[in-house]
Structure 1
Amino acid sequence: MVSRDKDGTIETWLVRVWGRVQGIGYRDACVRRARAQGITGWVRNRMDESVEVMLQGSPEQLADMCSWLRDDMPAALVDELEVTQVQPPFPRFDHFERLPTL
């Protein structure tokens, strides 16, 4: 279930994270954090050593999650975080999961 802010807005953001973000438990920590915040979507490694994250929830939830992705994983060294808002219509996710590497 996706949590909603007071006006019911749900957004979908595609986030790419570059830096030292693979091989350190970043995706597993991301799954735990997203589920704890009621965010749905997925996370996966990419062959270029970045991590890609699809987030769905309220704008406030997603902004908080992006802040966490950038600054709050102690083992990570994030060089760049790129956020793209996905325009509707977009698929609705019912949970947050870890996908295989793309």
Structure 2
Amino acid sequence: MSVAVRVPTILRTYTKGEADVSVDVADDATLSDVLTALDASYPGIGARVLDDTGEIRRFVNVYVDDDDVRFASGLQTHTPPGSKVSVIPAVAGGC
């Protein structure tokens, strides 16, 4: 099965500038499996998405299709065939 991953601009140095990449995982894959496969194909990107404890970094939002995984099953969120994973860094700022 192939899962599409949307990569934010700040992480595209790991994907040679590609905004959209795909990774192959099993039919019963979870988000954790997708991120493992992503890091295997694009070394270093996993450490930018996951913290030292293996959890999604606090200021990184991850969606499977249109669902925020923090309100689903986190890294155990099922990623069915044809899923689209979006990695979106949080943006903060102000005056």
Which interval holds the TM-score relative to the shorter structure?
0.3 to 0.5
Which structure has the higher relative contact order (CA within 8 Å, separation 6+)?
Answer: 1
The alignment's TM-score, normalised by the length of structure 2, stands at: 0.33
TM-score by length of 1: 0.32
Q: Which has the higher strand share?
A: 1
